[in-house]
Amino acid sequence: MRIDSQQYVAFLEEVMASYPKVDPISVIHNKYPCCLFKKWLGDNIKMSIFDSWPPASGDLMPMNAVFTDILKEFEAKQILVHSEKDLYKEVENCFLTLTENENYANSLISNIPLQLQQIVLKNEEPM
């Protein structure tokens, strides 16, 4: 399922409405937000982005891998959802399927050094 920028902003507004009145809400966002999101972010003083967070951060790799695996499950099973409720249910089902393998979490973590090394080699930076 792909969402457009208007749906993404609407989702963020819905999530933010559930937070208590605190200033600001700090988030990590990818380095390529769409123009509409950038404008919305600039207009919204409740949001603060961690600009210095590295885009290839080792601590985010397991989470990225889980979401990639969930997307692969969606594609393999040709899962279509038509509501937010269905989306949450299907993501949960895919996550439960993935974690039935008792070595799943360990494999995610053990892959971090290799992934970091690949990033270094790709960017031709010394370790």
**Per-residue pLDDT tens digits of the chain, which is 127 residues long:** 566 778 877 877 787 777 777 667 666 666 556 677 777 777 776 776 665 556 566 777 888 889 889 999 999 999 888 888 899 999 999 999 999 999 999 999 898 888 878 777 776 645 4
What's residue 8's pLDDT?
77
What's residue 22's pLDDT?
65
Q: Where are the domains of the chain?
A: 5-49, 61-123
Residue of 20, 10, 22, 79 lying closest to 47 (CA atoms): 22
What's residue 76's pLDDT?
93
Distance CA 122, CA 114 (A): 12
What residue has token string 């937010």?
Answer: 84
What's residue 127's pLDDT?
47
What's residue 73's pLDDT?
92
Distance CA 45, CA 87 (A): 29
| Phi, psi values for residue 23, rounded to 5° | -125, 140
| Phi, psi values for residue 47, rounded to 5° | -110, 140
Q: How far does the chain reach from its first CA to its final CA, in angstroms?
A: 38
Whether the Cβ atoms of residue 49 and residue 29 lie closer than 8 Å to each other: yes
What's residue 72's pLDDT?
92
